[in-house]
Homo-oligomer: A and B are copies of this chain.
Amino acid sequence: MAKELKDLTKRADDYSQWYNELVVKADLAEQSPVRGCMVIKPYGYAIWEKMQQTLDKMFKETGVQNAYFPLLIPKSFLCREAEHVEGFAKECAVVTHYRLKNDPSGKGVIVDPDARLEEELIIRPTSETIIWGTYKNWIHSYRDLPLLINQWANVMRWEMRTRMFLRTAEFLWQEGHCAHATAEESEARTVQMINLYARFAEKYMAMPVIKGVKSANERFAGALNTYTIEAMMQDGKALQAGTSHNLGQNFAKAFDVTFVNKDNKPELVWANSWGVSTRLMGALIMTHSDDNGLVLPPHLAPIQVVIIPIYKNNEQRDQITAHIEPILVKLRELGISVKYDDADNRRPGFKFADYELKGVPVRLAIGARDIENGTVEVMRRDTLEKFEAPLEGIESRVRDLLEEIQENIFQKALTHRQEMTRTVDTYEEFKVEIEKGGFILAHWDGTEETEQKIKEETKATIRCIPLDGDTTPGVCMVTGKPSRQRVIFARNY
């Protein structure tokens, strides 16, 4: 592992290579033998589980319930909503048969041609169609509304170019699907969920995000409006970290989902959907980590503190362990996840490098001399600073330090984003600035043509029309036509 750390490519040398190596070396994930699909390893999955648990609790606090809908969607369902099929039907895994049989040649098995499905089934790329096909039976009266449902599931999109966590053929996510009696309620829920995602990103991932609306071009297929949270990675590229879609009555129309209102009249139901995925793992890595490995926010770190005894013999080790045990109890009482690593088969230096690579926020090292002096060596992963602290009361010192680290890495990421965000007024300047990375605030005339032209000429897309901040009108940097407010351009993941 020490060797592996030394081998980690530096961010300045090749950011993309650094990311790919770190995912593997920190034991987060690896490529599977199935094209474009990854294996999420236990350490990576433990971080994802913490994200899941936190989000799940936040969802439930807003009245959302979990359910589970089928993995497979009949092909005809995808076609019911015209825009949706354009967006999702093209690159997807298609189940055509339901049986294999022994190869008559005697070698292995082949697809049984007699077991062809009458209608092909698609592995869900997203579940609006199957869910709204089901809601038809669940919604009859205004009393059945709102219906606030989420599912944690795997989905599949046959991506041609994949990268672990960021873009994989199969990925894990949650998808919320709400049904409402009015347009206003549905819009309010759509906004509520993007606010919830922003809170999660900032408070738990320590990742500052900008809330905004997508341009028509970048909207979810079948939505009236897509809200997004956009984060800036260390290399200045944008990453879309979560979206919430106001679907209007499009899916209700497509699947004929109506309810009888209080005046006893039938009306179409209003819909929204919202999701985040294992992509957040990629965002987490590229927001905080460094050339020594992962840097994890304490609120999501599977191991928040590691304690490593430094000893020359078993007697010393036992003495240290006796001093550490009550501290382990106190740390756990404070709800802190701590690991005491007194394993014999690895040296302290090796352990230090390994836990640095894994991003454990706080490391305590303690030797025989420390015991005599009543001290411990503390290392914080975010700054790599080391200092000596009294053993007495170390548990509350650690608790405070974890919060300090959480706040510090958030501020660091925020400062980075601010430094990498510029306001630009001419297209000439834009072309120069976009090469330097980061977010560029510029005026745009609101047309797809202009957006497309900018994308083709600079590879930059409109990340969002921000909800907060400067809303002064101006003129489009490309066409000179009126612009309602500056929007955020960036190259993106």
Contacts and interface: CB of A to CB of B under 8 A. Distances in A.
A32 to B, nearest CB: 5
* 3 interchain residue pairs of minimum CB distance: A42-B65, A37-B70, A40-B68
Interface in A259-295: none
B111 A96 contact: yes
A49 B66 contact: yes
B45 A66 contact: yes
Q: Is the interface of A mostly helix, strand, loop or mixed?
A: mixed
29 contacts: A30-B137, A32-B130, A33-B130, A34-B72, A34-B73, A34-B121, A34-B130, A37-B71, A38-B70, A39-B69, A39-B70, A39-B134, A40-B67, A42-B149, A45-B67, A49-B66, A68-B172, A70-B170, A71-B156, A72-B93, A78-B109, A85-B108, A85-B109, A91-B98, A94-B99, A94-B100, A96-B97, A123-B123, A154-B154
A122 interface: yes
A336 to B, nearest CB: 17
Given A92-B100, A97-B94, A99-B90, A72 B108 contact: no
Contacts of A68: 39-40, 45, 172
Given A99-B158, A130-B32, A94 B111 contact: yes
A101 to B, nearest CB: 7
B108 A101 contact: no
Given A72-B170, A94-B100, A345 B143 contact: yes
A146 to B, nearest CB: 13
Interface in A86-137: 89-101, 108-109, 111, 120-123, 130, 133-134, 137
Given A71-B156, A95-B123, A154-B154, A65 B46 contact: yes
A330 interface: no
Interface of A: 30, 32-34, 37-42, 45-46, 49, 65-79, 85, 89-101, 108-109, 111, 120-123, 130, 133-134, 137, 143, 149, 153-154, 156, 158, 170, 172, 345
A4 to B, nearest CB: 14
Contacts of A156: 71
Contacts of A137: 30
A66 B46 contact: yes
A470 to B, nearest CB: 42
Contacts of A133: 33
A75 B112 CA distance: 13
A98 B156 CA distance: 10
Contacts of A49: 66
